[in-house]
Amino acid sequence: MEKKVVIAPVGDYMDALYIGIKEFPTERVILITPEDKLDEAKKAQEELKKFRIPVQIMEIKGNIWEEMFQKIAEIKAIEKDKDILINTATGDRVSTCAATSAAFVNGLKAMSISDGMAMMLPVLKFSYYNMLTDKKMEILKLLKKPDCCNSLEELSKKTKMSLPLISYHINGNLKSEGLKEMGLVETTENKGKIAVNLSTLGRLLIKGYVSS
């Protein structure tokens, strides 16, 4: 079995890291850690020296979702010829969710722990980019601008698309998913007007942190 490059968020369940390593031959480990978990990351790094497994620590600051997606996208690009496995079980609630989502949208292998046993998660190989038309991408890029659109009417005017067409791209229909159903935008209603904003996933996609 080919040895794996294991990515793991540093959190509340670091014992899961060793269960995963026992189950899957590991070439090296990349720990993604917030600032307040840096000591735990360094402790794991020292522990894994006993098994002669090199450990790289990548520190993240700010928004955990955005940083997790960015780091995993960077690792995937650098380690493109390696067998990458994300151990999602090591983090806390937020970092585990972020790591799992990043694995799914990038088509990477991921594992968790159930009853002390390693369990592979399904690999979801799909591309948002293939699902997005030029018009939908145009809308997303426009929404990237701060305070872009306080209403569908304003979005219609800026994109030079008709209001029914804008509504179709945002809300979709029975045959085609809209940006809202795809989880890329969020809508809010205020005084009868519907504002549209990028969701977290939408921002990550536009920034290139979601694999094509």
pLDDT at 179: 92
Q: What is the pTM of this model?
A: 0.78
Dihedral over Cα of 97, 102, 107, 108: its sign: negative
What integer pLDDT is reported at residue 32 of this predicted model? Answer: 98
Does domain 4-121 correspond to CATH entry 3.40.109.40?
no
Do the beta carbons of residue 100 and residue 121 sit within 8 Å? yes
Instruction: List per-block mean pLDDT (blocks of 10 residues) for the chain, which spans 212 residues.
Output: 92 94 94 96 95 95 91 92 95 94 88 91 70 89 86 92 93 88 89 88 82 60
Q: Confirm if 102 and 26 have CB atoms less than 8 A apart.
A: no
* Domain 128-206 fold: Arc Repressor Mutant, subunit A (1.10.10)
Facing residues of 194 across strands?
189
Distance CA 28, CA 2 (A): 12
Q: Can you give the pLDDT at residue 208?
A: 76
CATH 1.10.10.10 domain range(s) in the chain: 128-206
- Confidence (pLDDT) at 127: 65
Domain with CATH 3.40.50.10770 in the chain: 4-121
**Model pLDDT, residue 130:** 73
Q: CB-based contacts of 112: which residues, under 8 Å, 6+ apart?
A: 16, 87, 88, 89, 100, 118, 119, 121
